[in-house]
Structure 1
């Protein structure tokens, strides 16, 4: 979670609900109890061990759901049956692009915590469509980052606008056919990488993944000091 105190404060506070030990291993179900409920997981937009039901929604006529385990490229769309708080939705999820951020993007935030200071940050652009026949809305985009150590990274949550990557929940009223664009921030600990993006609503779900080229940040070359003209 990212919070900002009063704007007059000299230094704002950055509280990210992510820790290296909190990421879920893709190969297992870490963080789940025998009851299927989440364990001591950080506050994130969606927890694979704590969302909804495994019972599929009856898809609208003509809508084909993307097979679990599908491997997609950036720009591809997955049609998924997403259930949360006993409310089912058919969503079209498209991961359009991913770009690595820089620590200087967070000027004004308190980045003194070693976890934050030594992390890599990634901005992922996503398009969400209501591909079903029922209205929905007011939910977070159910996607996770995949780190180079094969762990899931929950999206960073903001309590105020982050201009580099504006992160918003779906509108409260999201009618069939409506489209919504947002940007998700992922923190990869210890200067880690981002290898892809995952849709995994339950720990037992064979994830749908997107992979593609992650854009590197543009680093402007340092200006060389001008040589003083000699006396002639």
Structure 2
């Protein structure tokens, strides 16, 4: 239980730290313009020929696709088509059998579902899906980490091999501090990046999907965000 609490503390510290870094007038929750996923003229990262990146700052609706690039580690560039398909308000009744700390229960759980295709040249196997949520306090929150399989929402990592043309339907769990609200889904690999965001109707997560097989497992909050090189 002590380890679970420590993971939560790191997750909350990450959101607060990023919020503080954003107080210079830049708004992480939305971009400057872009009502549709238009392609930028000059790519912000080198991507394969024919891949047109969505303009930084684009504000999309759930169901729209953005083409993005990021550096999961130094010297590696990933390019993805990301289609956010749903945002869902979950409840802790769906976490049956998981050990939840008091700190965890002070948050609001959300699921984000997305269809993601590798359109780049790098094998991104094992990397985490580079999506965050934004809460009502304008904080970026990373997806949570589980020590086992959480059946209602499959996970936030790519398969061991995730190469050009591979596609995955991902589901990520987020814990918004202080019972916070999900206001947007954000692609923001670095603090300097003008985020691409998705907004839309918040659905209710399906009932009867409790993780009963996960007894005695521990669940914690998201790990601390780096600078897009994690």
After TM superposition, the score normalised by the length of structure 2 is 0.71
Contact 1:123-1:184 at 8 Å conserved across structures: yes
Moved more, 123-132 or 168-177: 168-177
> In the alignment, does 2:36 pair up with 1:29?
no
Query: Is the helix fraction higher in 1 or 2?
Result: 2
- Alpha-carbon distance in 2 for matches of 1:118, 1:157: 17
Contact 1:69-1:207 at 8 Å conserved across structures: yes
Matched residue of 1:190: which SS? helix
> In the alignment, does 2:89 pair up with 1:110?
no
> In the alignment, does 2:73 pair up with 1:82?
no
Higher RCO structure (Cα 8 Å, ≥6 apart)? 2
Contact 1:155-1:187 at 8 Å conserved across structures: yes
> In the alignment, does 2:148 pair up with 1:157?
no
Aligned length: 185
Contact 1:122-1:194 at 8 Å conserved across structures: yes
Contact 1:75-1:97 at 8 Å conserved across structures: yes
> In the alignment, does 2:8 pair up with 1:17?
yes
Map of 2:90 onto structure 1 = 101
- Alpha-carbon distance in 2 for matches of 1:15, 1:137: 27
Change (3 A) 1:139 1:214: same
Change (3 A) 1:201 1:218: closer
Deviations 1:58-113 (A, max 9, x none): 22222110111110111111111111222111111111101111111112222341
